[in-house]
Amino acid sequence: MTKQERAARTREALIRSAAREFDEHGYALATLSAISTGAGVSPGALHFHFENKPAVAAAVEQEASTALRRAARLAHRQGANALQNLADTTHALARLLREDIVVRAGYRLSCSRVRRTDLNLRQEWQSCVQQRIAEAADEGLLATGHGGQPDLVRTVVAATVGLEALCRDTREWLAPDTVTGLWRTLLPVLAAPGTLAGLEPAGSASVPAARAPVG
Amino acid sequence: MTKQERAARTREALIRSAAREFDEHGYALATLSAISTGAGVSPGALHFHFENKPAVAAAVEQEASTALRRAARLAHRQGANALQNLADTTHALARLLREDIVVRAGYRLSCSRVRRTDLNLRQEWQSCVQQRIAEAADEGLLATGHGGQPDLVRTVVAATVGLEALCRDTREWLAPDTVTGLWRTLLPVLAAPGTLAGLEPAGSASVPAARAPVG
């Protein structure tokens, strides 16, 4: 293993250990010494990579952001219609948040009121929902008769953010069955009757694993 | 003012100051000295009422719990059907969370993963939703054709918990219009067509102010 490879592995171990520490104790109570111990490296090795706690947190957020954006992009590329895309994207992001401690901790850091940075992943998610529902309207997929697009956007945003918030206590809230149940309930409100039959609340079979390497 | 009245006022001022401090800095970073300063009392006066930070936090949670339970009870007493009751209750609780810093801070303390006590207000809310939807089923109010009661319960819980989580950044998420928009979207999924026309997403006019004194 080259020196660069070793450095990259140490950095990755530190980010993972920091994510565990932030997830368990919250940002305010997480300590650099617990992070370096958790990664099995010396405090000096930590300081070689990161100047201080905000720098470690920023790296965790950055990793989360990259993974979430890539998963959203992959789901979007599948070519399904906008409503199916929206459901597929929630499944992909739920899987990442459920299975990947770095994504989970990074997302939460970026939602924290106490520690506010430029990166706001929850805001990005809201924009994504808004865009997909606007596309669905353009494609003529939306049902009529509800209160209008803003109501639909807010309901989908609230329900999905709620799943993430609830998942902090009980992992099952982001399980595939729960996300599918949410779409089984919401798709009939969103989709025009002719569109509904073609939509799969459990997600398109073609959606690849969220962290699969991109060619 | 008697000695007892003065003591009660000081205690109330301390609880309010603690709520502001927890809301702004989070439990971990809140300090007793900032709490006593915010209440305009000496550290000695604080220690007369509360032994330590967990005791202050428990008092804030207790106040929040009392107010939320009373609001839920009042909404339930209005005698409307179970689905209208559910909508009315969310309006009453949203108003409390929006307007009352003690309720807001207490609710969040009780949801915190880092600091876990016996009081779990989010769990109580889940039970309340579950009960109202079961009542609606018993009363023959529920629509058929969706995935079943568990899906409906989870969707309502996720969407309402999401509103509270989003409100931490942007107060508008618990505004009456937003809550009304949520019910405008969700009631058509929950309610049988014959029931829907009689339901008011904005809440029954008869629901009293959440903190009105109970006779």
Q: What is the CATH number of the domain that holds B42?
A: 1.10.10.60
In a domain, A203, yes or no: no
Domain that holds residue B5: 1-50
Q: Which helix (H) or strand (E) holds B139?
A: none
* B111, B157, B184 ranked by CB distance to A146: nearest: B184
In a domain, A35, yes or no: yes
Per DSSP, helices labelled H in chain B are 3-29, 32-39, 43-49, 53-77, 82-99, 101-111, 121-138, 149-167, 176-190, 193-196
Question: Are residues A11 and A88 located together in one domain of the fold?
Answer: no
Structural domain includes residue B46: yes
Residues B18 and B107 in one domain: no
Question: Can you tell me the distance from the alpha carbon of A8 to that of B161, in angstroms, rounded to the nearest whole number?
Answer: 39
Q: Note the pLDDT of residue A156.
A: 97
> Does residue B191 sit in the same domain as residue B122?
yes
**So what's the pLDDT on residue B83?**
95
Q: Does A89 share its domain with A7? A: no
ipTM reported for the complex surpasses 0.85? yes
Residue B215 has pLDDT above 50, yes or no: no
- Whether residue B78 is found in the same domain as residue B162: yes
Q: DSSP states of B171-209 as a string?
A: GGGGSHHHHHHHHHHHHHHHB-HHHHTT--TT--TTPPP
Nearest CA in chain A to B170: A113
Looking at the DSSP bridge assignments, the partners of residue B191 are B142
Residues A116 and A24 in one domain: no
Cβ(B90)–Cβ(B160) below 8 Å: yes
pLDDT at A114: 64
CA dist A184 and A199 (Å) reads 10
Query: Residue A191's beta-bridge partner residues?
Result: A142
DSSP string for residues in A42-107: -HHHHHHH-SSHHHHHHHHHHHHHHHHHHHHHHHHHT---HHHHHHHHHHHHHHHHHH-HHHHHHH
How much is the pLDDT for A111?
85
At B67-88, the pLDDT tens digits run: 999 999 988 887 789 999 999 9
Could you give the dihedral angle defined by the CA atoms of residues B79, B173, B69 and B17, in that order, rounded to the nearest 10 degrees?
-150
Query: Is residue B95, in this structure, part of any structural domain at all?
Result: yes
Q: pLDDT value at position A214?
A: 38
- Whether residue A202 is contained in a domain is answered as no
B185 and A158: CB-CB below 8 Å?
Answer: no
**In this complex, do A161 and B165 lie within 8 Å of one another by their Cβ atoms?**
yes
Of B35, B50, B65, the residue at which a domain comes to its end is: B50
CATH code of residue B130: 1.10.357.10
Instruction: Please name the residues in contact with A117: beta carbons below 8 A apart, sequence gap of 6 or more.
Output: A58, A61, A110
Q: Are A82 and A135 in contact (CB under 8 A)?
A: yes
Considering CB atoms only, which of A113, A145, A159 is closest to B158? Answer: A159
B113 pLDDT band, cuts 50/70/90, is low
Pair (A76, A38) in one structural domain: no
Residue A191's SS3 state is: strand
B41 and B73 belong to one structural domain: no
Domain count, chain A: 2
Q: Which of B154, B173, B178 sits opposite A181 (nearest CB)?
A: B154
Nearest CA in chain A to B201: A147
Distance separating alpha carbons of residues B89 and B13, to the nearest angstrom: 28
pLDDT at B147: 75
Confidence of residue B116 (pLDDT cuts 50, 70, 90): low
Residue A9 located in a structural domain:
yes
The pLDDT value recorded for residue A145 is 72
CA distance B30 to B18: 8
pLDDT digits (tens, 9 = 90+) for B174-197: 999 999 999 999 999 999 988 999
Contacts of B143 in chain A (CB under 8 A): none
For B:121-140, CB contacts with A below 8 A are 122
Chain B interface includes A158 (CB < 8 A): yes
Write out chain A's pLDDT in tens, 215 residues: 788 999 999 999 999 999 999 999 889 889 999 999 999 999 999 999 999 999 999 999 999 999 999 999 988 887 789 999 999 999 999 999 999 999 999 999 998 866 667 778 999 999 999 999 999 999 999 998 777 899 999 999 999 999 999 998 888 999 999 999 999 999 999 999 889 999 999 998 655 444 444 33
Among chain A residues, CA nearest to B184: A147
C-alpha triplet B141, B144, B149: angle, nearest 5°: 80
pLDDT of residue B120: 86
B64 belongs to a structural domain:
yes
Based on the domain organization, do A70 and A143 belong to the same domain?
Answer: yes
Do A41 and A71 share a domain, yes or no?
A: no
The answer to whether residues A163 and A88 belong to one domain is yes
pLDDT band at residue B209 under the 50/70/90 scheme: very low
Residue A73 belongs to a domain? yes
**Distance between CA atoms of residues A158 and B95, nearest Å:** 17
Question: In terms of domains, do A134 and A161 share one?
Answer: yes
